[in-house]
Structure 1
Amino acid sequence: MNIRQCTICEANDAGYAPRVNPRLCGDCQDWDDLLHVNFCRERSEAHAPLNPVSFCYKHNPDWPPSRKGNYSELKDLEFFSHEHFATRRHCIMCSAVGDALDKASSEGGDGQETKIAVWRPFIFDPGKNQWNVRDEQTAMEKGMVPWFQKCVLAVCVATTPTGEDSWSYQPRIMEFILRYEKWCYDLSHIAPWVRQVMDTNQIKRWLHRCVHEHGEECSTLRIPSSISLPRGFRLIDVHERRVVLPQSQVEYVALSYVWSMASNSPEKQSLQLHSENTEYLEMPHSLTDSILPEVVADAIHLCVEIGQRYLWVDRFCIIQDDLDLKAEQIDAMGVIYDRAFLTIVALGDGPTTGLVGLSCRPRQQGFQNWSWDLLPTMSNPVGEARIPLIDRALSESAWNDRAWTFQERALSKRKVYFDAGQVYGGCTRERWQEKPEDVDEGEWSKSEAWEIQELNDRLWDFSQDSFAVYSGIISHFSPRKLSFPNDILRAFAGVVNALELQLKRPILLGHPEEFFTKSLSWVPQPGFMATRRVLENVPSWSWASWDSKATWDNDWTIAPGIYLAATISGLKASFVNFHVSDPKEGLRPVKERHQPLEDYLVEQKRAALKVIKEAAAAWWPSSISSDPVAIEVGELDELIKHVWDWAHRKAQDDDGAWPPSTLQIPRSERLHELSEVATAFTALRNLEQTIDTRWWPPTVAKDLETYQQLEKLSAEARALAEERPNSLIFNTTCAHLRVGPFGRMWFKIPPRRNLSGCAIQNKDGIPVGITMAMAPQLTFDMFQKGRECLVALLGICSAKRWMQWDKGERSILPPHHVKEMCLFVMIMEEKDGVCQRLAVGVVYVDEWMNLQPQWRTLVLA
Structure 2
Amino acid sequence: MSSKSGPLSLCQRCQEWGKINIHNMTYGDIINQAGDKSTTIKEYVSIEQLAQQPYCAICTSILNVYYMRSQVIPVLQSWPARRIVVCITGPFYLDKGISNAGKLLPRGPDISDPNYIAIRMFLKIEVSTLPLESSEENKEEPSFTYRVGQVNVAMKEVSGAPTQFTATPQFVMKYSNEATPVLCDINEWEIPFFNIQVLRDWLRHCDEYHGKQCVDQNNKNATLPVGFRVIDTHDMKILQPNGFVRYVALSYMWSGESGNDIQLEESNVEGLEVKDSIRALSIPGVIADAIALCRDLGERFLWVDRLCIVQDDSVNKPIQINAMDRIYSLANFTIVAALNTRTGLGLPGFTNRPRHPRSSAWAPPHDAEVEAQGITVQHIIDGSVGTSLWNKRAWTFQERLLSKRRLFITEYQVIYECCKGQATELLTWGNQTAYEPIAGQDSVTRGDSSFEDEETSGSQQIDEVLGFYTKSQYSGNSYAIKETSSIRDYCFWVKDYTTRQLSFGTDILNAFIGVGNALGAALSSRMLYGIPEKYLAQCLLWSTSGVAYPRGETYEIPSWSWASCLSPVLYDWRYVDYDRYFFKLASLVYFYYQDPGQGLRRLDVEERWMEDEISIEDLSRREDLPALSGRRIPGEWRTNRDWRDCPQNPWRAVEHQTLDPDACRIAAMFPGALIFNTTVASLGIDHMYYKDGIPEKYQVFNASLSNISGEHVGILSELDFDWVEAHRSAEGNKKLFDVIVVSGGLVKYSMRNNYAFFGYWDKMWLLNVMLVQRLPCKPFVARRVAVGTVTLSKWKDCNPRWETVVLH
Cα distance between partner residues in 1 of 2:338 and 2:307: 20
Task: Please report the RMSD computed on the Cα atoms of aligned residues, expressed in angstroms.
Answer: 5.3
Residue type at the aligned position of 1:827 = L
Cα distance between partner residues in 2 of 1:249 and 1:339: 10
Name the SS for the 2:690 alignment partner.
coil
Q: CA deviation at 1:430?
A: 1.2
Q: Does 1:266 align with 2:210?
A: no
Q: Does 1:577 align with 2:617?
A: no
Alignment match, 2:347: 355
Q: CA deviation at 1:246?
A: 1.6
Structural mapping, 1:624-639, within 5 Å: none
Identity of aligned residues (%): 28
Name the SS for the 1:445 alignment partner.
coil
Residue type at the aligned position of 2:594 = S
Name the SS for the 1:765 alignment partner.
coil
Alignment match, 2:741: 793
Alignment match, 2:440: none
Choose from 811, 826, 830 the match for 2:770: 826
Q: Structure 1 634/273 Cα, relative in aligned 2: closer, same or farther at 3 Å?
A: closer
Name the SS for the 1:758 alignment partner.
strand
Q: Does 1:766 align with 2:714?
A: no
Name the SS for the 1:361 alignment partner.
coil
Q: CA deviation at 1:24?
A: 3.1
Alignment match, 1:325: 316
Residue type at the aligned position of 2:604 = K
Alignment match, 2:210: 214
Residue type at the aligned position of 1:516 = L
Between 585-594 and 169-178, report the one with greater CA deviation: 169-178
Cα distance between partner residues in 2 of 1:390 and 1:448: 16
Q: Structure 1 716/232 Cα, relative in aligned 2: closer, same or farther at 3 Å?
A: same
Alignment match, 1:859: 806
Give yes or no for contact 1:756–1:775 (8 Å, CA) kept in 2. Answer: yes
Q: Structure 1 740/275 Cα, relative in aligned 2: closer, same or farther at 3 Å?
A: same
Cα distance between partner residues in 1 of 2:668 and 2:599: 7
Name the SS for the 1:713 alignment partner.
coil
Q: Does 1:32 align with 2:33?
A: no
Q: Structure 1 738/456 Cα, relative in aligned 2: closer, same or farther at 3 Å?
A: closer
Q: CA deviation at 1:237?
A: 0.8
Structural mapping, 1:425-574, within 5 Å: 425-434=416-425, 435-436=428-429, 438=432, 445-446=463-464, 450-453=468-471, 459-460=479-480, 462-464=482-484, 466-524=486-544, 531-534=549-552, 535-554=554-573, 569-570=582-583, 572-574=585-587
Q: Structure 1 460/92 Cα, relative in aligned 2: closer, same or farther at 3 Å?
A: closer
Cα distance between partner residues in 1 of 2:62 and 2:746: 66
Residue type at the aligned position of 2:208 = H
Structural mapping, 1:41-190, within 5 Å: 49=44, 72=46, 74=47, 77-78=50-51, 122-123=90-91, 125-127=93-95, 146-152=116-122, 175-180=170-175, 181-182=177-178, 185-190=181-186
Q: CA deviation at 1:126?
A: 3.0
Cα distance between partner residues in 2 of 1:291 and 1:784: 63
Between 422-431 and 364-373, report the one with greater CA deviation: 364-373
Cα distance between partner residues in 1 of 2:379 and 2:789: 44
Structural mapping, 1:387-406, within 5 Å: 389-406=380-397
Q: CA deviation at 1:700?
A: 8.5
Q: CA deviation at 1:533?
A: 2.5
Q: Structure 1 290/827 Cα, relative in aligned 2: closer, same or farther at 3 Å?
A: same
Cα distance between partner residues in 1 of 2:610 and 2:124: 64
Cα distance between partner residues in 1 of 2:692 and 2:263: 51
Q: Structure 1 388/497 Cα, relative in aligned 2: closer, same or farther at 3 Å?
A: closer
Residue type at the aligned position of 1:358 = F
Q: Structure 1 144/124 Cα, relative in aligned 2: closer, same or farther at 3 Å?
A: farther
Q: Which has the larger radius of gyration?
A: 1
Q: CA deviation at 1:422?
A: 0.4
Q: Does 1:695 align with 2:648?
A: yes
Between 30-39 and 570-579, report the one with greater CA deviation: 30-39
Choose from 410, 417, 439 the match for 2:408: 417
Residue type at the aligned position of 1:691 = R
C-alpha distance after superposition, 1:353-409 (max 9, x if no partner): 421111132213137724462677x92597989997123222222222222122211
Q: CA deviation at 1:271?
A: 1.1
Residue type at the aligned position of 1:421 = Y
Cα distance between partner residues in 2 of 1:816 and 1:743: 21
Q: Structure 1 34/752 Cα, relative in aligned 2: closer, same or farther at 3 Å?
A: farther
Give yes or no for contact 1:746–1:756 (8 Å, CA) kept in 2. Answer: no
C-alpha distance after superposition, 1:583-627 (max 9, x if no partner): 111222212121159979999xx9xxxxxxxxxxxxxxxxxxxxx
Q: Structure 1 684/78 Cα, relative in aligned 2: closer, same or farther at 3 Å?
A: same
Give yes or no for contact 1:737–1:791 (8 Å, CA) kept in 2. Answer: yes
Name the SS for the 1:334 alignment partner.
helix
Cα distance between partner residues in 2 of 1:698 and 1:635: 10
Give yes or no for contact 1:126–1:447 (8 Å, CA) kept in 2. Answer: no
C-alpha distance after superposition, 1:333-369 (max 9, x if no partner): 1110011001000111279842111113221313772
Structural mapping, 1:198-237, within 5 Å: 198-219=194-215, 228-237=223-232
Residue type at the aligned position of 2:254 = W
Alignment match, 2:457: none
Cα distance between partner residues in 2 of 1:517 and 1:421: 44
Q: CA deviation at 1:839?
A: 1.4
Name the SS for the 2:278 alignment partner.
coil
Q: Structure 1 339/788 Cα, relative in aligned 2: closer, same or farther at 3 Å?
A: same
Q: Which has the higher helix share?
A: 1
Cα distance between partner residues in 2 of 1:97 and 1:801: 53
TM-score by length of 1: 0.68
Q: CA deviation at 1:170?
A: 9.7
Q: Structure 1 732/591 Cα, relative in aligned 2: closer, same or farther at 3 Å?
A: same
Q: Structure 1 803/190 Cα, relative in aligned 2: closer, same or farther at 3 Å?
A: closer
Q: Structure 1 174/288 Cα, relative in aligned 2: closer, same or farther at 3 Å?
A: farther
Cα distance between partner residues in 1 of 2:638 and 2:61: 81
Cα distance between partner residues in 1 of 2:179 and 2:563: 60
Alignment match, 1:736: 682
Residue type at the aligned position of 2:252 = Y
Q: CA deviation at 1:330?
A: 0.9
Q: CA deviation at 1:146?
A: 4.3
Q: Structure 1 148/415 Cα, relative in aligned 2: closer, same or farther at 3 Å?
A: same
Residue type at the aligned position of 2:571 = W
C-alpha distance after superposition, 1:20-62 (max 9, x if no partner): 984434659835325569999xx99998626xxxxxxxxxxxx
Name the SS for the 1:395 alignment partner.
coil
Q: CA deviation at 1:253?
A: 0.3
Give yes or no for contact 2:589–2:678 (8 Å, CA) kept in 1. Answer: yes
Cα distance between partner residues in 2 of 1:458 and 1:323: 35
Alignment match, 2:236: 241
C-alpha distance after superposition, 1:83-133 (max 9, x if no partner): x78xxxxx98899999999999xxxxxxx9xx9999968545235889958
Q: Structure 1 413/798 Cα, relative in aligned 2: closer, same or farther at 3 Å?
A: closer
Choose from 658, 661, 664 the match for 1:715: 661
Which runs of no fewer than 5 residues in structure 1 stay unpaired? 1-18, 51-71, 86-90, 105-111, 158-168, 558-565, 607-632, 640-668, 672-678, 702-706, 808-814
C-alpha distance after superposition, 1:820-860 (max 9, x if no partner): 43222211111222211111222234432233322211111
Cα distance between partner residues in 1 of 2:492 and 2:65: 48
Q: Structure 1 120/182 Cα, relative in aligned 2: closer, same or farther at 3 Å?
A: farther
Which runs of no fewer than 5 residues in structure 2 stay unpaired? 25-31, 70-76, 128-163, 436-448, 452-461
C-alpha distance after superposition, 1:732-757 (max 9, x if no partner): 2212211222352999xxx9998621
Cα distance between partner residues in 1 of 2:471 and 2:411: 24
